[in-house]
Amino acid sequence: MKLKAVFFDMDGVLFNSMPYHAEAWHQVMKQYGMNLSREEAYMHEGRTGAGTINIVSLRDRGYEATPAEIEEIYAEKSRLFNLNPPAEPMPGALDLLQQVKADGLMRVIVTGSGQRSLLDRLNHHFPDMFTRELMVTAFDVKLGKPNPEPYLMALQKAGVAPDEAIVIENAPLGVRASVAAGIFTVAVNTGPLPESALLDEGANILFPSMQALADEWRMFVDTLIR
């Protein structure tokens, strides 16, 4: 393998934002008479808001939400999420990024998030690690994870082949998208799901945390490119 680029998912990989997302999803669905447990929210992580709402609506109510209702529910979910303080960087994330940069590897963001201030936030916590050109966000994709589209787009933006990149993902559907794009997939289990939820989607290797990946990066990457 000729490693040239590392693709980073954002929520649950670089920022510890998933507990806030899971709680906001749980609360908003309750407001609308549906039941989405916090753990199930982690299983849907990476899906578009509309995708998650419709899966739960079909199951709990027997019909899909209208576009207007989806917009309303998603706006309320975002409002609840934004009541929280800004999510902290994931422990170990900066450590890992510094090693990746020192190795001369490209860093690419691949996220379903559509926050306008994303790059400012990334630059604040991880200075000189990311550029606007090497980001795939909600504004770039049509389908989103678990479709391979975001990762295929990342390959294109970075100008690398699937065997020249690795993906770092924390969510089962993110792993599915990366595996479908043909990219070596590193799972970090930063949430409450069992390891099997990530391994069953085809993750090539699993670390229990971002700090564990940072600690073992040298050995891992030397094994990978040997």
Supply the residues annotated as catalytic: 9, 11
Asked whether position 49 contacts Ca ion by CB under 5 A, the answer is no
Asked whether position 52 contacts Ca ion by CB under 5 A, the answer is no
For residues 50, 55, 59 and 60, what is the CA-based torsion angle, rounded to 10 degrees? -30
Asked whether position 108 contacts Ca ion by CB under 5 A, the answer is no
**Going residue by residue from 8 to 27, which x/- string records binding to Ca ion, judged by CB under 5 A?**
-x-xx---------------
Q: Of the ranges 113-121, 133-141, 151-159, 170-178, which one interacts with Ca ion (CB under 5 A)?
A: 170-178
Among 90, 122, 171, 181, binds Ca ion (CB under 5 A): 171
Measured from the CB atom, is 65 or 214 closer to Ca ion? 214
Asked whether position 149 contacts Ca ion by CB under 5 A, the answer is no
Distance CA 196, CA 165 (A): 24
What is the enclosing helix (H) or strand (E) of 106?
A: strand 106-110
Measured CA angle at 152 (ends 149, 86), to 5 deg: 70
What is the enclosing helix (H) or strand (E) of 223?
A: helix 210-225
Measured from the CB atom, is 11 or 164 closer to Ca ion? 11
Q: Of the ranges 4-12, 26-34, 145-153, 183-191, which one interacts with Ca ion (CB under 5 A)?
A: 4-12
Helices (H) and strands (E) in the chain, counts: 10, 6
**Smallest distance, Å, CB 69 to Ca ion?**
26
Q: Edge-to-edge strands of the sheet including 184-188? A: 135-136, 106-110, 5-8, 165-169, 184-188, 205-207
What are the residues binding Ca ion (CB under 5 A)?
A: 9, 11-12, 170-171
